[in-house]
Amino acid sequence: MPLNLRLPIVLALVAGCAGVLLPSASAQQPKQYDYRVLATNRTSTAEKEMNEAAQAGYVFAAVMGGETSFGGSEVVVVMVKDPDLGPAQARSYRLLATSRTSTMQKEMHQLGAEGFDYKGQTVFSSTFGGKEVVVIMERPQGEPAQRYEFKLLAASRTSTMQKELREAGEAGFRLVGMTVGKTSIGGSEVVSILRKGAE
């Protein structure tokens, strides 16, 4: 083969091998997640801190209520900056806490009509309300928001929960969250939250 034809082939092979042997810059840079942990025994404080974190680009990741070794009975919320989400759109958060199912459903219904969606729930012992169910709601800012309708079910018997869930499902509600715990709503109960798009 003439030299002037072999040289481009050799150069192409060398470049190909270099591409295999040398990882790309993106392969050398693993994804990084930035977390912020919020812990308080007051839901109003947690809501304020969540909205402050949201303004700094964090979004809700997880929530749990219970006894911590550093603050007693608290609501612990984890916020994250997720590279998969790209630049995080600003969000607004609301925390609802009550020991009455009817009150929680009413408040969730009102927020759902404003475009807030369910993100998480837990049970904890507050310093002012005893055993309470805590629900976190989220709404994107700066765009028309989808409206939602919510239904809360609380039962201490699985047969009752089965019946109520089936009826809600037939009405178009989808289960989005469930908490098992001893609440002042009705003792040891399963508290289920269901959602459907508002008409």
Question: Closest by alpha carbon to 105, among 173, 199, 187?
Answer: 173
DSSP 59-116: EEEEEEEEEETTTEEEEEEEEEE-GGG-SPPPEEEEEEEES-HHHHHHHHHHHHHTT-
In this structure, are residues 175 and 194 in contact, taking their beta carbons and an 8 Å threshold? yes
pLDDT of residue 103: 87
In this structure, are residues 56 and 34 in contact, taking their beta carbons and an 8 Å threshold? no
The one-letter amino acid code at 149 reads: E
Tens place of pLDDT per residue across the chain (199 aa): 554 555 455 445 445 554 444 455 455 678 889 999 998 888 888 999 999 999 998 999 999 887 666 556 788 999 999 887 766 678 899 999 887 878 888 999 999 999 999 999 988 776 545 577 889 999 988 766 789 999 999 888 888 999 999 999 999 999 999 887 665 555 577 889 999 988 7
Quick one: tokens of 102? 């009817």
The one-letter amino acid code at 172 reads: G
What is the end-to-end Cα distance of the chain in Å, rounded? 74
Quick one: tokens of 24? 């790309």
pLDDT of residue 102: 83
Rounded alpha-carbon distances, angstroms, from residue 127 to 71, 72, 74, 132, 173 = 12, 10, 9, 10, 33
pLDDT of residue 3: 46
Condensed to tens digits (0 to 9), the pLDDT of residues 50-104 reads 999 999 989 999 998 876 665 567 889 999 998 877 666 788 999 998 878 788 8
Could you tell me the pTM of the whole model? 0.75
